[in-house]
Chain A
């Protein structure tokens, strides 16, 4: 391959790569804050699903800066929830964990009187996500005695992971 031809090819490919990088960068600038805003909205709608429509986030902090600080495997964020007249009604813990079928991120809601309120699934990319959703998660939402819901439900590994997360949150709340 003669020299000149090689240079032309590498220049054109370089221009294509640079222009595509530029295009991606520009779209990223446009969509970056919108995506994080979407995530925020998802959490707010989750909290509304757990604590009712008039609940709102009073303050939020990573777990280790909040009053529940400690050594946790799943919990990474905690939200204190209050209703419209700023009365504390409970806490929502954002937990995320994964097993060999995928990652689960969810919100676990506890009332201020340390009773398990409900669970909201933010993102469930497990392979058997739909079976987990129908067979287990719907059974433990708004069901105080989630302990005796059977874990063998066609998505056993996913269900045990969800249960471990709730138990860890229970430990944190009762601290």
Chain B
């Protein structure tokens, strides 16, 4: 396999990784919560300090305000 063949292979694998990441990200958001876990609560102070605004529990915070 020539050097450029390897480069094309590597870039296609990276693009594949990116697609897998985006698809799984969207699917993770879409799948409904399992039956018994709707009311799971994160301990209050931890939720505010973590900046990951896209995490499911932040959505609950914002809806409350």
A: residues with CB less than 8 A from B are: 13, 17, 21
CA distance A17 to B22 in the complex (A): 12
Does residue B15 face the partner (Cβ distance < 8 Å to A)? yes
Does residue B18 face the partner (Cβ distance < 8 Å to A)? yes
CA distance A17 to B15 in the complex (A): 8
Q: Distance (Å) between the CB of A130 and the closest chain B CB?
A: 34
The 5 closest A-B pairs by CB, nearest first: A17-B18, A13-B22, A17-B15, A21-B11, A13-B18
Which residue of chain A lies nearest to B15 when distances are taken between CB atoms in the complex?
A17
- B18: chain A residues at CB < 8 Å are 13, 17
The 5 sampled A-B contact pairs (Cβ below 8 Å) are A13-B18, A13-B22, A17-B15, A17-B18, A21-B11
- B11: chain A residues at CB < 8 Å are 21
CA distance A13 to B18 in the complex (A): 10
B: residues with CB less than 8 A from A are: 11, 15, 18, 22
- A17: chain B residues at CB < 8 Å are 15, 18
Q: Distance (Å) between the CB of B11 and the closest chain A CB?
A: 8
Which residue of chain A lies nearest to B11 when distances are taken between CB atoms in the complex?
A21
CA distance A148 to B15 in the complex (A): 54
- A13: chain B residues at CB < 8 Å are 18, 22
Q: Distance (Å) between the CB of B48 and the closest chain A CB?
A: 30
CA distance A72 to B18 in the complex (A): 41
CA distance A21 to B18 in the complex (A): 12
Which residue of chain B lies nearest to A6 when distances are taken between CB atoms in the complex?
B26
CA distance A13 to B21 in the complex (A): 12
Q: Distance (Å) between the CB of A22 and the closest chain B CB?
A: 12
Q: Distance (Å) between the CB of A17 and the closest chain B CB?
A: 6
- A21: chain B residues at CB < 8 Å are 11
Q: Distance (Å) between the CB of A9 and the closest chain B CB?
A: 9
Q: Distance (Å) between the CB of A15 and the closest chain B CB?
A: 13
CA distance A86 to B34 in the complex (A): 78
CA distance A17 to B11 in the complex (A): 11
Q: Distance (Å) between the CB of B10 and the closest chain A CB?
A: 12
CA distance A151 to B49 in the complex (A): 48
Q: Distance (Å) between the CB of A31 and the closest chain B CB?
A: 18
Q: Distance (Å) between the CB of B5 and the closest chain A CB?
A: 18
